[in-house]
Structure 1
Amino acid sequence: MKRLDTTGVIVEYNPFHNGHLHQINQIRAQYPDTTIVAIMSGQFLQRGIPAALDKESRTRQALQSGVDLMIELPVAFSVQPADLFAKGAIKLLSGMKITRLVFGAEHPKIDFKSIAVKIQNIDGDFDQFNETYASQYQQAVFDSTGIHIDEPNDLLGLAYAEACLSEKAEIQLCPIQRIGAGYHETIFDDSQEIASATAIRLAIKNQESIENVVPSQTKIDAENEKWIDWYDFWPYLKYQLSLLTPEQLSTFYGMSEGIEYRLLQQYEKLPEDASFDDWVHAVKSKRVTYTKISRLATYILLKINKNEIDKQYKQPYYHVLGFSKRGQSLLKYLKKEVPYPILTKISKKDKEGLYSLDYRAGIIYGLVSHKKSDLFRHPVQIN
């Protein structure tokens, strides 16, 4: 397959903000003739949370800000730890023969690929049960390389490098300096033009202005769309937790070490007015993090089992969320070249086959968003 000049980004856009716009502008300045392809998580995200806005709205925000082609990262990959999240996205980008992957990093001078080579034989079966997997992994990386990698975007960059190795992907990694707010910062002031997605979501929840830190389309959506969080899905999750036995819960993806018993025991102890956060904090321990519990909650909510995840990895696909004119030209070319099916409109056959898991995720998300299902959607087009 001939290589066109293409630049990939792996994103959530929850929501699209000025930090994302800065990255797109940097790519366009450095590679003016490139086609920018975003692999974007759909309705449920990497840390086990629902997207604050429907994927169609987030697609429109990105296309109006300079992205050319938006592809959905299937939920089997999007609600995962960094290594599996990266592996799914890199698998899709590699199939498209993407020229380069641009991503923000706290320390962009790190040679992520050389570190990935050095640590490829690390045994991932860590046995310190009083420590999280993440902390043991970071220590193992330091022991192998002498380099501390503990910032969120640096760790994601390393996950991309490891995925490129395992997928034999010939993609140039181009880390750029992450600017402005830290990943977990929760406040910003009127003088800032860049804020974290977390801070922006919190500001919207508190009915505070976000005008200085987001492009105009995001501001419009903030004023007119329903903003969603776990609070909205808690009644549906409670329904599942009320009916399921530990044995039934154990069949869902991600259940291990008897965690299903703890999930149910702590739920049964909750007062009637308890929130999702109350339940997560009751389950949480030094070994089991807030994020891990949130992912497990998503698997329960969507009723995802291990076989479905395995099937998805063996048979990926490209679900097209939207495109610009330049993106449409690339899409026409890719249809003859990529190794996996391209879905531009979901058919009844797709929803019962290839796309069944994401279709289910969309239906459940729609219970709260009140948006139409994927069966009735067309890709967003920006001229």
Structure 2
Amino acid sequence: MKVDLFDFELPRDCIAEHPANPRDSARMLDLTGGETPAGMMDRIVRELPDILRPGDLLISNDTRVIPARLFGKRGDAGIEVTLHKQEGLAQWRAFAKPARKLRIGEIFKVTDDFEAEVIEKKDGGEVLLRFNVAGADLIAGLEKYGVMPLPPYIRRDKGGDNQDRSDYQTIFARHDGAVAAPTAGLHFTPELLANLDARGIKRRTITLHVGAGTFLPVKVDDTNDHKMHAEWGSISPEIATLINETRANGGRVIAVGTTSLRLLESAAREDGVVEPFENDTDIFITPGYKFRAVDMLLTNFHLPRSTLFMLVSAFAGYDRMKTAYGHAIENKYRFYSYGDCSLLECASKIEKADD
């Protein structure tokens, strides 16, 4: 498909610079059959338990964002790197700016006791770095010297905003490894989780370490020519069994965010059965994809021409999402990582129910 099909105009004042407070007060555009002729209803996130049904299963991503943006030097030249995928206890793939100033064998120095050797270079500014510390010591170095890797559309000084250390982390965060937040999870609060539990809605987590590649602009003209960066994910046997039992008993699987959805779909067989998973995934979902494992999706509003807008167009229908985004812009919904969200139903499952 032509990438231009997924373009739209977004006013700068629609881009959220900070999250809603409290988080579950964010607006939520409900596209699961609301009161308007287009089947949309303007809600807020804390109404989610009223929409879901007892026996449904909410799946969230429990990855934890690390301060993956580092500022350092190669000699006297300033260099910025953003880590995006771990390749070993001491090795990370990263995007470097300016990458031309880094050569294989050279040292990217953050401080005298925290540095990395360039051991590989690829196109697009990507490098493979081997740090002088590993494992927990490497994570500790990132926590000490790194900056939260906020997307470029959120305006911050070079040193970042200390509030982002907590704001850009979900309530589900448990496992270090993400360099971008699974942003739909940012809307949840302890009170909202308690209300979901009281409603009889089951909750579980899976892990996908979100990489910066997920948010890179699509630079090709046709979706067939775009290559996704791989990300590591894990679904335990117990979670896979619960997902399959939920659907067999008539419950729905609701993915909190596109990261959860992509991992669930990566682990699903053609017949919809989800199997345990522990591997990389580079799944790229565009209109025409047949969803197997996910019935509903809670997700933020995404960038024009992005792989994520392509994904939601595949999930809920291209025309429906164009209409929904037009409504959101007209009604001043807040977009992107710190913004509002939408609740979507899988279009293919709606069509099947209507048959």
More strand by share: 2
More helix by share: 1
Whether TM exceeds 0.5 here: the answer is no
The alignment's TM-score, normalised by the length of structure 1, stands at 0.27
The alignment's TM-score, normalised by the length of structure 2, stands at 0.28
